[in-house]
Amino acid sequence: MAGLSVLRYEIMNNEQSIAFIRDFLEACVRAEPDEFASYFTDDAVWWNSPWKPVSGRAAIRETLRRGASMMKALPWRLEHILAHGNIVMTERVDNFLVEETPVSVPCMGIFELREGKIAAWRDYWDLQEFEKQLPPKT
């Protein structure tokens, strides 16, 4: 029966893929680096556009760790989510607390799944929209 459980994770149906990404988005808000990294394949790529892509689970973990040290994630609002095959797309508003200032960023995300993990994650959002909400530098 081990072969059947492997097959189950290799070929997730649309509902399973959506549930997996919903769980992942909740993990993003908790921002615990090891939990976050556990959702990715070893060779995953995270492109948090407009920044450069990050390759590999260890580098993705470190990028999240550094980001979480600069801001606290607040609950994200998921507007829409859909899946087809190994692709899941999300429209969200990601919320953060930078120092004591709330920041909200509309975002489109595309996830490519492989063997029950995220092999690629691309988020598209407006850096200027983010920066104009930041607290003034002292």
pLDDT per position as a tens digit, 72-126:
999 999 999 999 999 999 999 999 999 999 999 999 999 999 999 999 999 999 9
- From 23, 34, 94, 126, the catalytic residue: 94
pLDDT per position as a tens digit, 53-62:
999 999 999 9
Predicted TM-score (pTM) of the model is 0.88
- By the 8 A CB rule, do 57 and 41 touch? yes
Q: What are the backbone dihedrals phi and psi of residue 107, each rounded to the nearest 5 degrees, phi first?
A: -150, 145
- From 34, 42, 43, 123, the catalytic residue: 123
Confirm whether 123 is a catalytic residue: yes
Query: Mind giving me the DSSP string for 31-89?
Result: T-HHHHHTTEEEEEEEEEETSPPEESHHHHHHHHHHHHHH-EEEEEEEEEEEEETTEEE
Confirm whether 43 is a catalytic residue: no
Residues 65 and 67: their CA atoms lie apart, in Å, by 6
Amino acid (1-letter code) at residue 29: V
